[in-house]
Amino acid sequence: MTLTTMLLITILLILAMLVWAIQRIQLQNKALLQSERDVAQIRNDMLEREAGFQQQLAKDIKEAQKRSNNMQRNVLKGQIGEQFTPFITDFPYNPSDCRFMGEPIDYVIFQNLHECADGNVPIEDVHLIIAEVKTGNARLNQRQKIIKQVIENGQVSFKELRIKHCEDTEDMRVNVSA
């Protein structure tokens, strides 16, 4: 082999390696370009999802505010209704026999107390009624359930509390009698 042939073979090898390197760089560029497209697509998808999330969040907030307002209105209507219950047309007790407490129960009703005090009905017709007013789907709370059970169990009594005042010491004491 001559020097020219060897030089020609060497140049051909270098050219082949250059072509191979260029093809490899082109493949890498193509892969890089595809990766950039994928990243751009992912960013677009994330932006779309975020926009959808923000829209859903805004909608959920409005619905929650609406529910909250409705609940507040219902509570307010219930509270107003509780206080005006004795004045509703078909209320079965004399409003003057009702005492509003509001918490933990709404009313203590002294049924026929005024009539008995005026001598119009016998004491057997007088009843002490503990009443709770509810509207809609409202239920008794835990304290109200306990009060109901205490009454059903007969765990009810009358106590007279008498305040004693000591003029010397200005002390006040409470005596409880059966």
Confidence grade of residue 122 (pLDDT, cut at 50, 70, 90): very high
Contact 94, 125 (CB under 8 A): no
How much is the pLDDT for 178? 63
> Of 40-44, 112-116, 136-140, which gets the smallest average pLDDT?
136-140
Predicted structure pTM score: 0.59
Domain boundaries, the chain: 83-177
User: How many residues does this entry show for the chain?
Assistant: 178
Segment 19-51, tens digit of pLDDT: 999 999 999 999 999 999 999 999 999 999 999
Confidence grade of residue 1 (pLDDT, cut at 50, 70, 90): confident
